[in-house]
Amino acid sequence: MNFKNTREFARELDAQDKLFKYRNEFIFPKVNGKQVIYFVGNSLGLQPKSAQKYVNEVMTDWAELAVEGHFYAEKSWWDYHERFSEKLGKIVGANASEVTVMNTLTVNLHLLMVSFYRPSGKRYKIICEEKAFPSDQYMISSQVRYHGYDPSDAIVEIKKRDGENNFRTEDVIEKIREVGDECALVLIGGVNYYTGQVFDMEKITKAGHEAGAFVGWDLAHAAGNIELKLSEWNVDFAAWCSYKYMNSGPGNASGCFINKKYHNKKDIPRFEGWWGHNKERRFLMEQEFQPEPTANAWQISNAPILSLAPYLASLEMFDEVGMPALIEKRDKIVAYLEFILHEIDKEVESTFEIITPADQSERGTQLSVFLHGEGREIFKYLMDNGVITDWREPNVIRLAPAPFYCSYENMYEFGQILKTGILNKKK
Ligand SMILES: *Cc1c(COP(=O)(O)O)cnc(C)c1O
């Protein structure tokens, strides 16, 4: 498509956009009385207008029914979390039985390590990507130390080649083959949080299995962003947070995928609690644990209903729209943003380097842009002018135009504000 860097053209794209009306279903912060241009849905998604209603519903049930709400609320609490499995399954490409929602992301990764990081003999190493998200690094390192190994030996990092911004699939696979029968687990962020690169999860999962390792994915930046087929790819486990692309609210619950081949297995180690017990018998308070025959067996505590409520509100919208429509708009709006960046770059004679892969199959919603020659002041200028981006040292801004609520006109306006900011500085 031949894009144009004009307001009229951007408005034309908005007029053709089937998802445009959803902008109105979200609440935008305001700067100088004007709705912001929000590029940080990869960090904290905007609040759906329906979220408050879902929370109020729980507050009312609590007031009117108190403990009886567990069974008699319209959305009963004892099985509230089960309302998520099917909807989340569609988002991550899994059977409903393989998906559950509980705790928070890093907590879930720790819990899943109980089942999937079982070092023994010479097989004790974990392969991950270099400069993984810090929480993942701390999690993996503490797990390795907990099992009595030295992180500098037991953690094997996949590296980028010198001068390259992204990982190469062949290097990941090569590393897995090299570690071979010493590899206990491959655990990588499915979409890199810094560059937005999408890993070839199918190929890497296959290579991990060929080496005899478990393969898990941290999908913090992938869930609700890219197409996932966790069942088909035969992934062992995965977890994600819901407050980024899935708009569930700050610090909200994480989702987990546990491949069905591990359900109903007596020999799989797992930390257990009453919410993972056979649900028909949960309140009989029996001594022996009978796991649910699904991913719900990994549940531990009774669910935080008040926090799940806005998550459910958001999932209803995902269900209505569907990932294919979101992905279709995503590709187009990201391509338009990329075009705008190149146009502005020419006009201001600056040098923007987009470090996210140019190939659409290797990226999702996020473009990470190295602003050579620009400092933090441009980030601040954008903020002061109603463009919310995210700044990473040394001088990268991450731009994620979430297809649910960003418009093409936003992209055009962003370009104009960026241009003015840079030119002002040069004066
Ligand atoms: C956002 C993010 C996290 C956050 O972890 P929490 O436990 O939800 O605080 C972890 N890992 C990755 C890769 C992330 O992008």
The string of pLDDT tens digits covering residues 127-161 is 999 999 999 999 999 999 999 999 999 999 999 99
| Domain ranges, ordered by start, for the chain | 7-42+322-426, 79-241+254-302
Q: What is the mean pLDDT of residues 25-50?
A: 97
- Ligand 1 atom closest to the Cα of residue 132 is 13
Q: 409: CA distance to ligand 1 center in Å?
A: 31
Pairing of strands 237-241, 254-258: antiparallel
* Residue 427 pLDDT level (bands cut at 50, 70, 90): low
Q: Any idea what the Cα angle at residue 260 is, between residues 279 and 183, rounded to 5°? A: 125
Structure confidence by residue, pLDDT tens digits, 220-254:
999 999 999 999 999 999 999 999 999 999 999 99
Mean pLDDT is lowest, of 204-208, 347-351, 412-416, for: 347-351
- Ligand 1 atom closest to the Cα of residue 106 is 7
Mean of per-residue pLDDT scores for the chain: 96
Is 302 known as a binding-site position? yes
Gap between the Cα atoms of 150 and 298, Å rounded? 28
Are residues 158 and 218 in contact, defined by beta-carbon separation less than 8 angstroms? no
Is 70 known as a binding-site position? no
Q: 139: CA distance to ligand 1 center in Å?
A: 11
The pLDDT of residue 80 is above 90: yes
pTM of the complete model: 0.96
Domains 7-42+322-426 and 79-241+254-302 equal at CATH topology level = no
Of 393 and 277, the structure prediction assigns the larger pLDDT to 277
At 279, list the tokens: 């649900």
Does 3.90.1150.10 match the CATH number of domain 7-42+322-426? yes
* Residue 84 pLDDT level (bands cut at 50, 70, 90): very high
Structure confidence by residue, pLDDT tens digits, 405-424:
999 999 999 999 999 999 98
- Ligand 1 pocket check: which of 42, 113, 133 to mutate, most ligand atoms within 8 Å of Cβ? 133
Percent share of the chain, pLDDT over 90: 91
Fold observed for domain 79-241+254-302: Aspartate Aminotransferase; domain 2 (3.40.640)
Is 133 known as a binding-site position? yes
Gap between the Cα atoms of 240 and 262, Å rounded? 19
